[in-house]
């Protein structure tokens, strides 16, 4: 009720014209006209300011009087206008289903005679439209349906999954045309400020190799230009000038991508901005070419026949030389160069970006100290993530959650101050810590059980759901390995056979072996692609319990077997029968001496 009684209509005052035709409350046979002129207010609402974005959008708000349960709110409005940079091209998604039940859906497109509209349905299909010619020469594309059930959706699906029926409508039928329209705002700015030219010259003087110059230019932008988006009017689609960006040292994704491309171009490297969709990028190739396909801008370059992709808005300067600098695979990208088309960004093979090596010294005698040595190794984007975290906290604070875990498992323990090695060239960070405890054991049915501190698979395991309709989003996990080496003279009980689980987009494995140093177990997970199909996720759910037994390692030392009654009786008889005889022998020897 409260939501429906307040009509809010956002619009962009730089190019939108908003017209309210009427707002009516339908109550049975009664039609109540709302006096919009006396009840509306217009306010500027920067709803994205917390995300460092200013777009200048306004909101018309109308509070409706006396709205009651059972009323129908009838609103008729027109929103007209587009940024001039769109060059008159048109694109819109036509939603034919929603998260709420619709009693009736009526949507139509009026197409002028000189215009052609291309449409492609969503993966779940659409309601076939009726196309008719009107008297004024316009074509009407009409979608009508009744009793439309709410869509079935899953929150952990990839962003490119469209859980509703509908279609994309566009006046463009090919991606190069989309690139031509969007590229216009990036072209023609060759007015490099003197300060920027000096930066470029300094980079060239400091680095002889082109690859090192590329990395230096990208890092300079990441370190020097802080993120803030001035998206007034066409600012949401057109970057500012190089002079403005350099003078303010402020920019959004378009600005920093333009800056990186301009710097590399000046150095003689082929470089361009590129448009991507961080949510639906992997499915762009299957959608209708349209202007609204992208939500982010990055940059790319070509060096020695290979394409490299750069995220200029990174809030930490990326580590690694050009070969080891992390690159985020967002699926498909539209390179903003003449004739640029939609391209697959990379055929990225899984990389070992997270590794744990733990060596556990288990003593045989009670009361002796147990020593656990742990190396945490982060590579690529994971290493950049650690650097980002360490900008705002100490290394000790960063590993506090690990120390808390050790306390939970082992009770009283000593967690040594961690040490870190940051190899910027290889983009690899190693954090080492030591844990000591006097009693690492738990009891289970008389057996002593030791739990290793590191989980192997919890980064890719989710609680089983029981059913699945859409693909499952694994997230940004790529590949990891946890190696556990236990050095001890104790007889241990552990899983002896190797195990592999293959779920198409995800592979897990457990490899045990006995070495000269002790028992070693290696747990690997490899994410082939960042999502699982519904069937793959269901297979993972079915194997959840089995995988869990190999996840957080538990090593068992069997209890000493109890003696049976017969061996016990013989032992007691020998002891109590032999003691008197031994006493007599000792007495005789003493008398003789």
3-state per-residue secondary structure call for 197-241: HHHHHHHHHHCCCHHHHHHHHHHHHHHHCEECEECCHHHHCCCCC
Q: Which spans in 81-209 are helix H? A: 175-183, 194-206
Tally of CB atoms within 10 A around 383: 26
This prediction's pTM: 0.83
Report, at the CATH architecture level, how domain 6-171 is classified. Sandwich (2.60)
SS3 helix, strand, coil % of the chain, rounded to 5?
25, 35, 40
Phi and psi at residue 179, in whole multiples of 5°? -65, -40
Residue 107 parent element (H or E): strand 102-111
Comparing CA positions, the residue from 82, 68, 74, 63 lying closest to residue 12 is 82
CATH number attached to the domain at 180-344: 3.10.620.30
CB proximity list for 589: less than 8 A, separation 6 or greater: none
- Residue-by-residue pLDDT tens, the chain, 593 positions: 566 778 888 888 888 889 999 999 898 899 989 988 888 888 887 777 777 777 778 888 988 888 888 888 888 888 888 888 888 899 989 999 988 888 888 888 999 999 999 999 999 899 899 999 999 999 999 999 989 898 888 888 998 898 999 999 999 999 999 999 999 889 888 899 999 999 999 999 999 999 999 999 999 999 999 988 777 667 678 899 999 999 999 999 999 999 999 999 999 999 999 999 999 999 999 999 999 899 999 999 999 999 999 999 998 899 999 999 999 899 999 999 999 999 999 987 778 899 999 898 888 777 788 888 999 999 999 999 999 999 888 888 888 877 777 777 776 667 788 899 999 999 999 999 988 887 776 655 556 666 666 776 776 777 787 788 899 998 776 788 999 898 888 777 777 889 999 999 999 999 998 888 888 989 998 988 889 999 999 999 999 888 888 876 666 766 655 434 444 444 444 444 554 555 545 545 545 54
For 360-411, how does the pLDDT look when each residue is reduced to its tens digit (9 = 90+)? 888 877 778 888 899 999 999 999 999 999 988 888 888 887 777 777 777 6
Helix (H, G, I), strand (E, B) or coil at 546: helix
Q: How many CB atoms lie within 10 A of CB 245?
A: 24
**What architecture is domain 354-557?**
Sandwich (2.60)
**What residues does 441 pair with on adjacent strands?**
450
Answer for the pair 239, 185: CB distance below 8 angstroms, yes or no: yes
Distances (CA, A) of 592 to 330, 407, 582: 99, 66, 16
Give me the torsion for CA of 123, 129, 131, 132, rounded to 10°. -170
């Amino acid at each position: 009720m409260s939501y429906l009684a307040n009509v809010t209509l956002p619009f962009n005052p730089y190019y939108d014209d908003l017209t309210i035709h009427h707002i009516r409350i339908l109550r049975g046979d009664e039609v109540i006209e709302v006096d919009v002129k006396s009840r509306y207010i217009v306010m500027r609402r920067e709803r994205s300011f917390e995300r460092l974005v200013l777009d200048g959008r306004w909101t018309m708000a109308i509070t409706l009087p006396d709205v009651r349960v059972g009323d129908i709110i009838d609103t008729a409005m027109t929103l007209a206008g587009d940024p001039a940079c769109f060059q008159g091209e048109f694109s819109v998604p036509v939603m034919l289903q929603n998260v709420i039940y619709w009693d009736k859906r009526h949507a139509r497109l009026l197409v002028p005679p000189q215009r052609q509209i291309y449409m492609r349905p969503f993966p779940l299909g659409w309601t076939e439209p009726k196309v008719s010619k009107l008297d004024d020469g316009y074509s009407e594309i009409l979608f009508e349906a009744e009793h439309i059930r709410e869509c079935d959706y899953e929150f952990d699906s990839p962003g490119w999954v469209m859980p509703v029926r509908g279609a994309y409508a566009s006046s463009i039928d090919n991606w190069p045309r989309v690139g031509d329209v969007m590229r216009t705002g990036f072209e023609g700015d060759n007015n490099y400020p003197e300060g920027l030219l000096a930066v470029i010259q300094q980079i060239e003087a400091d680095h002889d190799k082109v690859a090192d110059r590329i990395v230096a230019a990208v890092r300079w932008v990441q370190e020097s230009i802080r993120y803030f988006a001035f998206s007034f009017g066409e600012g949401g689609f057109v970057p500012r000038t190089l002079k403005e960006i350099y003078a303010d040292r402020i920019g959004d994704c378009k600005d920093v991508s333009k800056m990186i491309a301009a710097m590399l171009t000046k150095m003689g490297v082929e470089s361009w901005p590129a448009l991507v969709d961080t949510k639906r990028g992997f499915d762009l190739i299957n959608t209708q070419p349209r202007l609204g396909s992208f939500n982010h801008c990055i940059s790319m370059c070509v060096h020695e026949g290979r394409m490299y992709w750069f995220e200029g808005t990174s809030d930490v300067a990326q580590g690694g030389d050009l070969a080891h600098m992390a690159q985020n695979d967002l699926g498909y990208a539209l390179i903003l160069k003449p004739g640029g088309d939609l391209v697959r960004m990379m055929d990225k093979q899984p990389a070992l970006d997270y590794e744990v090596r733990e060596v556990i010294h288990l003593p045989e005698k009670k009361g002796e100290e147990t020593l656990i040595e742990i190396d945490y190794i982060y590579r690529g984007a994971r290493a950049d993530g650690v650097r980002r975290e360490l900008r705002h906290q100490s290394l000790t604070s960063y590993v506090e959650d690990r120390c808390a875990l050790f306390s939970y498992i082992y009770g009283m323990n000593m967690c040594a101050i961690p040490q870190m090695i940051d190899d910027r060239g290889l983009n690899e960070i190693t954090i080492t810590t030591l844990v000591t405890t006097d009693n690492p054991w738990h009891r289970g049915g008389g057996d002593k059980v030791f739990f290793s501190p590191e989980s192997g698979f919890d980064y890719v395991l989710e609680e089983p759901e029981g059913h699945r309709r859409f693909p499952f989003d694994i997230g940004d996990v790529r590949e990891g390995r946890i190696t556990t080496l236990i050095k001890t003279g104790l007889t241990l009980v552990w899983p002896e056979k190797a195990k592999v689980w293959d779920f198409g987009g995800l592979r897990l494995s457990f490899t045990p072996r006995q070495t000269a140093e002790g028992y070693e177990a290696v747990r690997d997970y490899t994410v082939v692609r960042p999502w699982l199909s519904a069937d793959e996720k269901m297979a993972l759910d079915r194997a959840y319990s089995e995988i869990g037994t190999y996840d957080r390692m538990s090593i068992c030392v069997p209890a000493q077997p109890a003696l049976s009654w017969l061996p016990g009786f013989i032992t007691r008889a020998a002891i109590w029968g032999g003691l008197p005889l031994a006493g007599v022998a000792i007495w005789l020897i003493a008398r003789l001496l």
